[in-house]
Structure 1
Amino acid sequence: MIKANDPTLHSWIQISPDSDFPIQNLPFGIFQTAEKDARMGVAIGSYVLDLCVLGQYNLFELIDIDPTIFHRPYLNDFIALGQPTWRAVRNRVSELLRTDNDEISGNSDLMHQCLIRMTEAEMLLPVKVGNYTDFYSSLEHATNVGQMFRDPEQPLLPNWRHIPIGYHGRASSIVVSGTDVYRPTGQTMGPEQQTPIFQPTNQLDFELEMAFIAGKDTPLGYPVPADAADEHIFGLVLLNDWSARDVQQWEYVPLGPFLSKSFATSISPWVVTLDALEPFRVKGPEQLPRPLPYLEFTGHRNYDIQLEVLLQPAESPEVTICQTNFRNMYWNMSQQLAHQTSNGCNLQVGDLYGSGTISGSEPGTFGSLLEITRQGKTPLTLPDGSQRSFLHDNDSVIVRGYAEKGGIRIGFGEVRGKVLPAI
């Protein structure tokens, strides 16, 4: 049987070489159009493939699946069917799109019904998120921040190399790419102030992250071993965890981020499966000291994914302000999941797990303005001559990412958000 990841596969759909969505990718998402209500789709080139229509034409009849599962407003019910079903559907979609298959390409009525140009589709939040955890897993980011706020010689807290640090975020304010974000208001305490004030944040920031989506429920009290994590992960999305740094600095002691993070978190609409990313697994950085046994794993658990952040001021073109890679994360997804469940915390399908800010150690690789501008002390100068210590109203932040090897590019599209003035 030919695997859906086979680099020799080609589709009868014309696909640009620089497309994020070749036949080897086939990510899942939820979309709607002026004529169609919310339903499942797969990205292929510059089109959305309507799985609901394919189900109506009985093109999944050899798979034990109710075709109405594709006519849902979220992916959760489909994900809950389990990894063998995800794989079977993705493999069948791959088969239908190959150059040697005419089940769709030979039926003009079916083609017209099931292929929608991306420009005509509105992408929706792919999953109903019940729980959201955000980790703090980049050694470089933790070091950069620690040097600014703590001892430059000892930037990491004593627990950092022993435990995947994380906190529980707000699931209700997770939004899909393209959703505008209002500047939050909160308490801040400046260095010259004697008492806090309540005002719109002056230090609105982005955080470049990846996130994985839980693909399996687990019972309360049962940990998931790191080596079993893959079967509990449906796929990955891009994530921008908007942050109000001045609010965060005042509120985070002693319990951590709260209102400085909960106002909005943006994710990309297409969920790229672990199967699609399998060719891009790489070894992660050496972990010293050796993690405790429950965090140990076998094989390669990091992924070689190129990431980019662009800033677009109002009425100005986009400009790249960060380029880095997901492969260098100190704590990987398997360890994060093992740690999340190590106390018996149960997983639910659709849970979202942010990687934490992804940064490198060199200028140009920092995944937040906090690091890029050294907390505003060295503002970023844009091509139009304007400067940014933190985000201005009407600025847009765009995050893009892809993995590429052997001429095959597996991309995530983008997550985009525009800052609107505080209400």
Structure 2
Amino acid sequence: MLTDPALRSWIDIAPGHPFPLQNLPFGVFEREATAGAPGTGPRLGVAIGSYVLDLYAVQQQGFFDGVGLLAGLPPKVLRRRSLNRFIGLGRPVWRAVRQRLSELLRHDNPELRDHEDAVRACLLRQTDVQLLQPIKPRNYTDFYSSIEHATNVGSMFRDPANALLPNWRHLPVAYHGRASSIVVSGTPICRPQGQRKAPDAEAPTFGPSQQLDFELEVGFVVGKGTTLGSPVPIAEAEDHIFGVLLFNDWSARDLQSWEYAPLGPFLGKNFGSSVSPWVVTMDALEPFRVPGPAQLPTPLPYLQVPGPHHFDLQLEVALLPAGATEEVVISQTNFRHLYWSMAQQLAHHASNGCNLEVGDLYASGTISGPTPDSLGSMLELAWRGTRPLPLPDGSERSFLLDGDTVIMRGYGELSNGVRIGFGEVRGMVLAGL
């Protein structure tokens, strides 16, 4: 079993590192030429400790030769700017790659370990490469699946006694977002401008958002497409998921609150969303399955699925204030709090026959927990600006300032403390136009 807590690698991996041998998440990287090393074009890679294992180099060194499905793996699939083509080869291939890499990296296997030239060709430090956006989604859907978040927002903007709209407990609410403005971790986010209207103003004004916010989310990547007109039975929904990543869905609350009626988010959301560079496979997440929250009323039959389909994943948000040198954790929560599971989200999305495409990205919506320190947005942490969040340096935040950097991290923990993590997704806020 690839997630056996006892597995060890011959690569030195610090305790608590997000990328132990049990993880092996997929990503894309490239390296510029230097005086000491040649450059590479885009390559598919797997994270192992603080290194990237170059899958194209692994193949060129012959380590896939004669290994079942991997013997015929097209080399060009491993030299692309996204995982999309690789994902499209199907689950048997993904599993075969992880199985072979797990064998090569185990502490007692000399095949790669004892060949210095091969190690030098295949294993690169993450600090020596540029991590690229792992997928190129043509379609992106953002759900609204945390009951704590939906209740908080409904209480702020509507009647606290009727915070949830009548449909919320019956279906996974969502909207279709903008795929072209999704960027990889580390890409700065420019403060958007647009129309905003103060509650006491007679007319709107146009200018930079004054209520820029983050949203802590987890996204999943479609690994198996469908044809138009073909629903996905919920029992098969997870067969269509390749893996999971961290997602920050930046939000301009003042633009959004003015524009969203009657059709929903537009300029307040489509200016940028950030993803982590590593996609953790569903297979790696198997040890963290847990039951979800009780769903009342019982969902309609097409959304009912037996067994645990939620995941026990610790999540946190840290803020590095503008000009500061030390970050401060401002929220800690768990993916298991999500009301609607990934399986339910996908099954509902396809229930009308909407076709899924490989590489599509679905985000969970803001993930908030039941306690004040487990809220997944500044909107909630500062309660719409009425309770500014104090910081250790004596300053406070109601919303994000220019120069602030938001960092999100997440992991599941095995029985012996080994963590299967996502790395991080970070972004700095830059002044707008």
When normalised by structure 1's length, the TM-score is: 0.99
- Could you tell me which residue of structure 1 aligns to residue 321 of structure 2? 313
1:65, CA displacement in angstroms?
1.8
Moved more, 159-168 or 53-62: 53-62
- Could you tell me which residue of structure 2 aligns to residue 121 of structure 1? 129
Checking the alignment, whether the CA contact within 8 Å between 1:60 and 1:67 is kept in structure 2 is no
Q: Which amino acid aligns with 1:403?
A: G
Q: Distance in 2 between matches of 1:135 and 1:49?
A: 33
Q: 2:424 matched to 1:419?
A: no
| Deviations, residues 373-423 of structure 1 (Å, cap 9, x unaligned) | 110011111111111110000000000000002122100000000000001
Q: Distance in 2 between matches of 1:348 and 1:389?
A: 39
Q: Distance in 2 between matches of 1:298 and 1:91?
A: 28
Aligned residue among 162, 167, 171 for 2:170: 162
- Could you tell me which residue of structure 1 aligns to residue 6 of structure 2? 8
Q: Which amino acid aligns with 2:424?
A: E
- Could you tell me which residue of structure 1 aligns to residue 26 of structure 2? 28
Q: 2:43 matched to 1:42?
A: no
- Could you tell me which residue of structure 1 aligns to residue 233 of structure 2? 225
SS of the residue 1:402 aligns to: strand
SS of the residue 1:275 aligns to: coil
Superposed, which structure 2 residues align to 1:193-208 within 5 Å? 193-208=201-216
Q: Which amino acid aligns with 2:217?
A: E
| Deviations, residues 169-197 of structure 1 (Å, cap 9, x unaligned) | 00000000000000000000111211111
1:58, CA displacement in angstroms?
2.1
1:311, CA displacement in angstroms?
0.7
- Unaligned runs of 5+ residues in structure 1 are none
Aligned residue among 339, 344, 355 for 1:346: 355
- Could you tell me which residue of structure 2 aligns to residue 214 of structure 1? 222
Q: Distance in 1 between matches of 2:197 and 2:329?
A: 32
Superposed, which structure 2 residues align to 1:92-103 within 5 Å? 92-103=100-111
| Deviations, residues 348-397 of structure 1 (Å, cap 9, x unaligned) | 00000000000012110100010011100111111111111100000000
SS of the residue 1:364 aligns to: helix
Q: 2:364 matched to 1:332?
A: no
Q: Distance in 2 between matches of 1:115 and 1:314?
A: 35
- Could you tell me which residue of structure 2 aligns to residue 288 of structure 1? 296
Superposed, which structure 2 residues align to 1:49-68 within 5 Å? 49-61=53-65, 62=67, 63=70, 64-68=72-76
Q: Distance in 2 between matches of 1:105 and 1:312?
A: 39
Q: Which amino acid aligns with 1:295?
A: L
Aligned residue among 376, 379, 383 for 1:367: 376
Q: Distance in 1 between matches of 2:237 and 2:393?
A: 46
- Could you tell me which residue of structure 1 aligns to residue 284 of structure 2? 276
Report the CA distance shift for 1:58/1:68 in structure 2 as closer, same or farther (over 3 A): farther
Q: Which amino acid aligns with 2:11?
A: I
Equivalenced residues, count: 421
When normalised by structure 2's length, the TM-score is: 0.96
Q: Distance in 2 between matches of 1:67 and 1:327?
A: 38
Q: Distance in 1 between matches of 2:323 and 2:53?
A: 34
Q: Distance in 2 between matches of 1:65 and 1:300?
A: 34
SS of the residue 2:154 aligns to: helix
1:315, CA displacement in angstroms?
2.3
Aligned residue among 409, 415, 419 for 1:409: 419
- Could you tell me which residue of structure 2 aligns to residue 176 of structure 1? 184
Superposed, which structure 2 residues align to 1:68-107 within 5 Å? 68-107=76-115
Q: Distance in 2 between matches of 1:405 and 1:89?
A: 22
Q: 2:360 matched to 1:356?
A: no
Q: Distance in 1 between matches of 2:233 and 2:337?
A: 22
Q: Distance in 2 between matches of 1:211 and 1:225?
A: 20
Q: Distance in 2 between matches of 1:218 and 1:128?
A: 18
Q: Distance in 1 between matches of 2:340 and 2:238?
A: 15
- Could you tell me which residue of structure 1 aligns to residue 143 of structure 2? 135
Aligned residue among 397, 400, 405 for 1:391: 400
- Could you tell me which residue of structure 1 aligns to residue 197 of structure 2? 189
Checking the alignment, whether the CA contact within 8 Å between 1:55 and 1:68 is kept in structure 2 is no
| Deviations, residues 61-110 of structure 1 (Å, cap 9, x unaligned) | 21242233211111000000001110000110000001121111111001
- Could you tell me which residue of structure 2 aligns to residue 267 of structure 1? 275
Q: Distance in 1 between matches of 2:132 and 2:342?
A: 25
- Could you tell me which residue of structure 1 aligns to residue 36 of structure 2? none
Q: Which amino acid aligns with 1:38?
A: P
Checking the alignment, whether the CA contact within 8 Å between 1:217 and 1:349 is kept in structure 2 is yes
SS of the residue 1:411 aligns to: strand
Q: Distance in 1 between matches of 2:365 and 2:6?
A: 35
Checking the alignment, whether the CA contact within 8 Å between 1:209 and 1:240 is kept in structure 2 is yes
1:314, CA displacement in angstroms?
2.0
1:59, CA displacement in angstroms?
1.2
Moved more, 51-60 or 251-260: 51-60
| Deviations, residues 140-199 of structure 1 (Å, cap 9, x unaligned) | 101111111111111110000001000000000000000000000000011121111111
- Unaligned runs of 5+ residues in structure 2 are 33-38
Percent identity of equivalent pairs: 61
SS of the residue 1:157 aligns to: coil
Q: Distance in 2 between matches of 1:32 and 1:375?
A: 41
Aligned residue among 236, 240, 246 for 2:244: 236
4+ residue runs of structure 1 moved beyond 3 angstroms?
none
Q: Distance in 1 between matches of 2:302 and 2:236?
A: 12
Q: Distance in 2 between matches of 1:78 and 1:254?
A: 40
| Deviations, residues 221-247 of structure 1 (Å, cap 9, x unaligned) | 001111101110000000000000000
- CA RMSD for the aligned pairs? 0.8
